Amino acid sequence: MTQEHVYQAKTVWTGASSGSTSSYESYSREYTVIIDGKPSFIGSADSIFHGDSSLHNPEDLLVIALSTCHMLSYLALCARAGVRVISYSDEAIGKMAHQEGKIRFTEVVLHPKVIIEAGDDLSKAESLHHDAHEVCFIANSVSFPVLHQPLVLDSNDSQAN
């Protein structure tokens, strides 16, 4: 049986308090996102689109969503496979460009660095990145490549520290 999961967010353009959209260059791009039961989120457009560079933008959020979905999928798979992860970090990079007359993401590359307990199966820990990519529902929802270039070390490896 298929289950449907629904996520709701209310987005409010708070930049209106600084003036109307009388010109492309002059209006504020600031917005607030409200999700019941969670802290409010304040964002803006990227500075290249006349936004506030000190706030997160939709492009940041997409890269974050892909990185964290992969991480959470990977950690779950490791836990089920008996691979004990003791550290995980990622330096994700998203690229946008003009393609087919539109600005769009062309790829996101994840660079997870994982440290597992000494003695756990290193090759299994490495292969689980492929499996995590296959089950990551955010990566499965986008139309551009999401690549991963993991580095998996055991806790005895000198690079791990």
pLDDT tens for 22-73 read 778 888 898 899 999 999 999 999 998 999 999 999 999 999 999 999 999 9
C-alpha separations of 21 from 24, 53, 58 in Å? 7, 19, 20
- Residues 92 and 34 occupy one common structural domain: no
Number of domains in the chain: 2
Looking up tokens 């490896």, which residue turns up? 157
CATH number at residue 137: 3.30.300.20
C-alpha separations of 79 from 73, 93, 108, 121, 155 in Å? 10, 26, 26, 12, 17
DSSP 8-state assignment for residue 49: G
Q: Is residue 4 part of a domain?
A: no
Tell me if the pTM is above 0.85.
yes
CA–CA separation, 66 and 5 (whole Å): 18
pLDDT > 60? residue 1: no
pLDDT in tens, 79-99: 999 999 999 999 999 999 998
Determine the pLDDT at residue 97: 92
- Residues 73 and 107 occupy one common structural domain: yes
Q: Is residue 125 part of a domain?
A: yes
Host domain of residue 153: 58-160
Q: Which helix (H) or strand (E) holds 76?
A: helix 58-81
Percent over 70 (pLDDT), the chain: 96
Q: Is residue 3 part of a domain?
A: no
Interacting residues of 127 by C-beta distance below 8 A, sequence separation 6+: none
